[in-house]
Amino acid sequence: MSAASGAFAPGVGASAPRGRLKIFLGAAPGVGKTYEMLLSARARQKDGVDVVVGVVETHGRAETEALLGGLEAVPRRRIDYRGHGMTEMDLDAILARRPALVLVDELAHTNAPGSRHPKRHQDVEDLLAAGIDVFTTVNIQHVESLNDVVARITRIRVRETVPDAVLDRADDIEIVDIAPDDLMQRLREGKVYVPHQAARALDHYFSAGNLTALRELALRRTAQRVDEQLLRHMQDHAIQGPWAAGERVLVCVSEDPKCAGLIRYAKRLADQLHAPWTALYVETARSHGLSEEERDRIADALRLAERLGADAVTEPGSRIVDDLLTFACANNVTQIVIGKSDRSRWFEMLHGSVVHDLVRRAAGFSVHVVAGEAIDGPPIPRKTVTTRTRPNPHWLQAVTSAIVAVALALGVGKLLEPTIGIETVDLVFLTAVIAIAVFYGLWVSLFASVLAALAYNFFFLDPLYTFAIAHPTNVAPFLFFLVVALVVSHLAARVHAEVLTARNRARTTEALYAFSRKIAGVANQDDLLWATVYQMASMLKLDVVLLLPRDGVLEIQAGYPPEDMLDEADLGAAKWAFETNKTAGRGADTLPGGKRLFLPMRTANGVVGVVGLTRAKAGPLLEPDQRRLLDALMDQSAVAIERIGLARQMDAARLAAESERLRSALLASLSHDLKTPLASILGAVTSLRQFDSLYDADARDELAATIQDETERMSRFVANLLDMTRIESGGIVIERAPLDLGEIVATALERTKRVLGRHRLLVDVAADLPLVTADAVLLEQVLVNLLDNAAKHTPQGTPVTVEAARDRSGVRLRVLDEGPGIAADDARRIFEKFQRARDRDRRTAGTGLGLAICKGFIEAIGGSIEAANRTDRPGAVFTIHFPPELVVPLVPSEAAE
């Protein structure tokens, strides 16, 4: 499938590391960039590197063509456009070939229509993403931020540009330069252009002054790159140095066509000062009167600033200078860049000048007033998508409404004149003027003001039905009425515009705030994705799909309306947007013929997903304001998706760490609690078989007892493992029955008789103890484990006590020992799996499962267990509590006995 049809090239976005980019930067055409690139490529080829030629333009230079010999060249792809055959670099073929290094000449080249990308530097991005190294060439006049500077120097504007970000991301930049006299001599010898072109170039572009200025630009741009690398090295190695910048640049954005040059000037100033910079647009009531072309120009200017590395900010305000200075003070701005006004002196005298006021009031700021130059054609290259215009009421409708309103005011005034008098009729007209100002803005309200004044004069001032004024005393009221009507209409229109701005921003802010609160409390990713697509669809009135990677494959995870299928073209555009972190599809620079527009959702750590937008109607999808709203929604959603992903990773890491800890503990238990009894059993059995005649009856009986003891020990260990497995799998079956705790205690003591043989036993079971409802097998096993634990931690000859009695809230069963007690570090986790208490000699005792099994069995029965240290003497006490619902009430006869 061809690239033009939306196919997704193989290899792009693979897991291979990103390729390295080396740029051969020239000050002017003909300095030998391609020649130097080929020399470096041949040297790499001699070192065994797989080098291919993607595209190299020799321009008929024999020495350059000679260097191409011996280098493999990928055939170019032919594209037919309007009956003309064109050739372009075959990106798909290079990606399929996958060389180690590819040569791509003329980085700023614009591809032929029908190519996958409109610009060659975007093709290079795909090659780098596939892990392929790239050598490329570019002249300094093609750098985006220097475009207007070069145009002023040479009087020639270059239409093909490369974003500064491409140079910033380059791994190496090699400047290629020769002296101006040598370059002009090469031109005369025909080594750069054919003779008639060379003569014309010498007369215009290739003058000594131009070439010197271009060389300085190239050296300065390369020096900035070297300085950035040095600072990065110092920061990476914690080398102390003066890299902390105290400067900050602010550029003022407006609808002026010269704004693009203003932004590029601010970019160069910020680079020279090594300072962060911000592009600010102050949105006032006047902004609502701008045309859609002017509003698009502002949006494009802000996007260009973002593209060049600035923070783009839109602030609501009323007085531009006040808001500029307030923002500058709040953000520690030191340099303010503003465009020179082209308005007439009379206009500035009537309305004031933002530039003059800013210069006069900017105490503590350096103000740069830049003339700038208008750009023919589209002022700023769009980075993302084409926006659509918003419908405005037709001027004829507005004028008609103004005439109708004044006519209604005239009728009402005629009806009320006998009652209120002629002096008050003018208020009726003022009401109509205010209403027109509220609904249709300033200019229509001014028209209504003049019309109302004329109607007031014609119908109410003597002589009636003429525009003459007979009495001089009526001249002043008429003039004041006209002035008041104009002022009131202006104020009403301004207040209405500010109210609309505030209302729209409040509505948007409220929606974003509600959305942020909604997603802040969402812990499930499916719920988050559904909330995201619903919010975007409802606020933008578009169909939305959301794609996230799953097992390395980009898939639809949510949609509104529900959508689970994409055609091949849209899926290819979505993958390209995800893997290149760029916009693709409908209305974008890449694959603009798609059904949907795909935008990457990104955080500081990279792209987390892709949003796809579409609607049934043809044409651009978003208005400029909607695009910025969409950016805010996507930023919030991306952070929330990343948060949930990080939470899952933390849970998985915690689970893995816990599993590893339990595995290590289990292996330690197995190695100790199986190896030790097995060694004892093996030794006793070997002695009986090989040396039976050497032992008397008592010795043989002792060896047999050892075998029995160690076998029972192993049996208890295996039983504990099986019991813990039953607890964790939920496989415990409870068989409840009324039980006598005295009988349970007696049975458990019988089972642990051998373990407790070297200890004194104290049993205290209350005579009036009621029955408890429990599982006899589980409760007996709990008591056996507690007694076994007490025997391990109690010195020989000291007592182990078992108590059973009633308390205020049920029945309690306690096992007390006189050992070292429970250490403070063990108290919080004594009932966890594989947690072993340590005795005074610091010898590990037990498997670490007995107490965990006790807790699991008791909670399954419905009771509770706790561990504490004794208060009357050293030792530990384990208390099992049976709540009232497990206690069988005594009948009256039993109570009497």
Residue 887 shares a structural domain with residue 834? yes
More confident residue, 601 or 446: 601
Looking up residue 883, the CATH number of its domain turns out to be 3.30.565.10
Residue 98 shares a structural domain with residue 221? yes
Residue with the two structure tokens 């020990």: 713
**Which of 549, 596, 545 lies closest to 568 in space, CA to CA?**
596
Calculate mean pLDDT across residues 281-297. 74
- Parallel/antiparallel/unpaired status of strands 584-585 and 597-603: antiparallel
Residue 723 shares a structural domain with residue 739? no
Residue 419 shares a structural domain with residue 340? no
Calculate mean pLDDT across residues 710-731. 65
Is 682 among the domain residues? yes
Q: Residue 251 has what pLDDT?
A: 92
- Predicted confidence band of residue 894 (pLDDT cuts 50, 70, 90): very low
Calculate mean pLDDT across residues 118-139. 92
* One-letter identity of residue 321: V
Q: Do 560 and 543 touch, CB atoms closer than 8 A?
A: yes
- Predicted confidence band of residue 861 (pLDDT cuts 50, 70, 90): confident
pLDDT at 873 over 80: yes
pLDDT at 795 over 80: yes
Is 378 among the domain residues? no
User: What is the SS3 assignment for 623-684?
Assistant: CHHHHHHHHHHHHHHHHHHHHHHHHHHHHHHHHHHHHHHHHHHHHHHHHHHCHHHHHHHHHH
d(CA 342, CA 374): 12
Q: Residue 104 has what pLDDT?
A: 93
Is 567 among the domain residues? yes
Residue percentage of the chain with pLDDT more than 90? 10
Looking up residue 97, the CATH number of its domain turns out to be 3.40.50.300
More confident residue, 436 or 549: 549
Q: Quick: pLDDT tens for 259-281.
A: 888 898 999 898 888 788 999 99
- Predicted confidence band of residue 862 (pLDDT cuts 50, 70, 90): confident
Q: Which residue range is the domain that position 601 belongs to?
A: 521-650
Cβ burial, residue 307 (10 Å; 0-12/13-18/19+)? buried
Q: Quick: pLDDT tens for 836-848.
A: 555 444 444 455 6
Q: Residue 827 has what pLDDT?
A: 67
pLDDT at 284 over 60: yes
Interhelix angle 741-751/776-793, rounded to 10 degrees, is 50
Least confident segment among 86-90, 374-378, 448-452? 374-378
- Parallel/antiparallel/unpaired status of strands 772-774 and 21-26: unpaired
845, 849, 854, 855: CA torsion to nearest 10: 120
Residue 588 shares a structural domain with residue 492? no
pLDDT at 753 over 70: yes
- Predicted confidence band of residue 101 (pLDDT cuts 50, 70, 90): very high
Q: Which residues of 832-864 are buried (b: 16+ CB within 10 A; e: fewer)?
A: ebbbbbeeeeeeeebbbbbbbbbbbbbebbbbe
More confident residue, 182 or 730: 182
Residue 616 neighbours by CB distance under 10 Å: 5
Largest CA distance in the chain: 153
Q: Residue 561 has what pLDDT?
A: 83
Q: Residue 197 has what pLDDT?
A: 55
What is each CA distance from 136 to 20, 160, 301, 754, in whole angstroms?
A: 11, 16, 29, 86
**Which of 180, 168, 94, 84 lies closest to 131 in space, CA to CA?**
94
d(CA 765, CA 782): 17
Is 750 among the domain residues? yes
Q: Quick: pLDDT tens for 342-383.
A: 766 665 665 567 888 888 887 777 888 887 554 433 333 344
Which of 95-99, 518-522, 700-704 has maximum average pLDDT?
Answer: 95-99
* One-letter identity of residue 350: L
Q: Quick: pLDDT tens for 301-316.
A: 887 887 788 888 888 7
Residue 430 shares a structural domain with residue 530? no
pLDDT at 8 over 50: no
d(CA 542, CA 528): 19
Is 543 among the domain residues? yes
Ordered DSSP codes for 694-739: GS-HHHHHHHHHHHHHHHHHHHHHHHHHHHHHHHHHT------EEE
d(CA 856, CA 724): 8
Q: How many domains does the chain have?
A: 6
Q: Do 448 and 398 touch, CB atoms closer than 8 A?
A: no
More confident residue, 400 or 842: 400
Ordered DSSP codes for 158-171: -S--B-HHHHHH-S
Is 864 among the domain residues? yes
Looking up residue 610, the CATH number of its domain turns out to be 3.30.450.40
* One-letter identity of residue 363: A
- Look at residues 370, 403, 420 and tell me which one is the last residue of a structural domain: 370
Q: Residue 19 has what pLDDT?
A: 92
Residue 850 shares a structural domain with residue 715? no
Least confident segment among 347-361, 385-399, 509-523, 650-664? 385-399
Residue 871 shares a structural domain with residue 776? yes
Is 197 among the domain residues? yes
Residue 475 shares a structural domain with residue 545? no
Is 352 among the domain residues? yes
Cβ burial, residue 466 (10 Å; 0-12/13-18/19+)? exposed
Q: Quick: pLDDT tens for 561-585.
A: 887 678 888 888 888 888 888 888 8
Residue percentage of the chain with pLDDT more than 70? 75
pLDDT at 237 over 60: no
pTM: 0.46
Q: Residue 258 has what pLDDT?
A: 82
Q: Residue 234 has what pLDDT?
A: 47
pLDDT at 52 over 90: yes
Q: Residue 843 has what pLDDT?
A: 44
More confident residue, 350 or 431: 431
801 three-state secondary structure: strand
Question: How many residues does this entry show for the chain?
Answer: 897
Residue 495 shares a structural domain with residue 532? no
Residue 526 neighbours by CB distance under 10 Å: 10
Residue 525 shares a structural domain with residue 488? no
More confident residue, 777 or 484: 777
Distance, CA of 96 to chain centre: 32
Q: Quick: pLDDT tens for 198-231.
A: 555 555 566 666 666 677 677 666 666 655 554 4
Phi, psi dihedral angles at 326 (to 5 degrees): -65, -45
pLDDT at 57 over 80: yes
- Predicted confidence band of residue 243 (pLDDT cuts 50, 70, 90): very low
Q: Quick: pLDDT tens for 511-532.
A: 777 788 888 777 788 888 888 8
Calculate mean pLDDT across residues 10-34. 74
- Average pLDDT value over all residues in the chain: 77
Looking up residue 322, the CATH number of its domain turns out to be 3.40.50.620
Residue 809 shares a structural domain with residue 691? no
